[in-house]
Amino acid sequence: MLCSIPYVFGYVVIISAYNVWMLYFGRMLTGLASGVTSLVVPVYISEVSHPKVRGMLGSCVQLMVVTGILGAYIAGITLKWRWLAVLCSFPSCIMLLFMSFMPETPRFLLNQNKRSEAIAALRFLRGPHADHEWECQQIEASVREEGLNLSEFKNPSIYRPLLIGVALMFFQQITGINAVMFYAETIFEDANFKDSRMASVVVSSIQVCFTAVAALIIDKTGRKVLLYISGFALGWGPVPWLLISEIFPLKARGISSGACVLTNWFMAFLVTKEFHDFIGFLTSYGTFWLFSAFCCLNVTFTTFYVPETKGQTLEQIEAYFRRI
């Protein structure tokens, strides 16, 4: 909810900008808010979701991202950049409004010894007929542990999921997806596409459609199967964001998720910034063959190291990493 402030203020600065430094400042504010929300949103969704639908709801993070990108591309065809900034300021206002009706997560409340509030949150989230007391007891069993010390990162149950999460974020971006998205018009021009201005819209539309498909089937097929399927929007788009919200123990969830999000955005920046240099050094063919090689490496990594979390509670996933 607090992120709505830098979001809105950042867009106000962009709307009123009369030099490039104001644009930089506005983008810095919106980038700050985006970084925080991309960390908090998957964790919040995983902690409030029922295991049977956690995959679908967690995949909706990526679905909303690509839907927003598509909306911005479509609006950008007809709107000037100031009006586009006006339009982009509305979602953060809507988020502030609707999040005011949502409870804090039961796991956080129990971690703060607020049991009655946790029961009330479960009643709101699950409805009046669910067994709130049983679920509360299951969560309590995992939140009774003491706070996290840095020395505990020597514990395999903490550092293994962290390494898996960081690797997932690294591999997601090394597929080159953001280079394709940001330079779609240039890529389509080089391929002699008739109307390259529509290239971004076409690519984004495909992403929205197949990310929606992934969200609908992920709780039936499982996570690993979608990571094997060719197509970023079906697997490597939504699944890593879902997995990093599932695999970390509660006491390490904050710092571990932060490390993963930092890895994701750093790699997104690096790949996007160096894309033209790759083209110049390796040619277009070599660059995309390099991305393809990393995609094959992604599958190998998934086969040997990524656990299947379908249908398991967060507490069961935490127990799995304690056993291995």
CATH number at residue 60: 1.20.1250.20
257-295 pLDDT tens trace? 889 999 999 999 999 888 888 888 888 889 889 999 998
Total count of domains within the chain? 2
pLDDT of residue 143: 66
Give the separation between CA 269 and CA 265, rounded to whole angstroms: 6
Print the domain residue range for 119.
Answer: 103-144
53 class by beta-carbon count within 10 Å (0-12 exposed, 13-18 middle, 19+ buried): exposed
Domain end call among 90, 122, 144: 144
What integer pLDDT is reported at residue 133 of this predicted model? 86
Q: What is the pLDDT of residue 264?
A: 92
Tell me, what's the pLDDT at 28? 94
- Tell whether 107 and 43 lie within a shared domain: no
pLDDT digits (tens, 9 = 90+) for 88-129: 999 999 999 999 999 999 988 988 888 899 999 999 998 888
Q: Chain-wide mean pLDDT for the chain?
A: 87
Q: Are 187 and 20 in contact (CB under 8 A)?
A: no
Per-residue pLDDT, averaged over 293-301, amounts to 91
Same domain, 256 and 140: no
pLDDT number for residue 173: 92
pLDDT of residue 283: 87
What is residue 311's predicted lDDT score, i.e. its pLDDT? Answer: 83
**Same domain, yes or no: 204 and 276:** yes
Q: 169-207: b or e for each residue (b if 16 or more CB lie within 10 Å)?
A: bbbbbbbbbbbbbbbbbebbeeeeeeebebbbbebbeeb
**How many other CB atoms are found less than 10 A from the CB of residue 307?**
18
| pLDDT at position 3 | 92
pLDDT in tens, 51-67: 888 888 888 888 898 89
**pLDDT tens for each residue of 167-222:** 999 999 998 888 888 787 777 877 777 776 677 788 889 889 999 998 888 888 88
Structure token pair of residue 311: 């249908």
Q: What is the pLDDT of residue 155?
A: 82
Q: Are 28 and 80 within one domain?
A: yes
Question: How many whole angstroms separate alpha carbon 72 and alpha carbon 321?
Answer: 40
Confidence of residue 146 (pLDDT cuts 50, 70, 90): low
* Domain co-membership, 119 together with 248: no
| 78, 138, 185, 288 from 197: Cα distances, Å | 12, 53, 6, 22
DSSP for residue 16? T
Q: Is residue 116 domain-shared with residue 202, that is, in the same domain?
A: no
Which amino acid is located at 205 in the chain? S
| Length of the chain counted residue by residue | 324
Do 279 and 287 meet the contact criterion of CB atoms below 8 Å apart? yes
Phi, psi of 155 (to 5 degrees): -75, 125
Nearest to 81 by CA among 37, 22, 29: 22
pLDDT band at residue 313 under the 50/70/90 scheme:
confident
CA torsion sign for 33, 37, 40, 44 is positive
Number of Cβ within 10 Å of residue 38's Cβ equals 17
- The CB-side HSE value for 77 (13 A sphere, CA atoms) comes to 14
CB atoms within 10 A of CB 318: 24
Whether residue 298 sits in one domain with residue 173: yes
The confidence score (pLDDT) of residue 136 equals 86
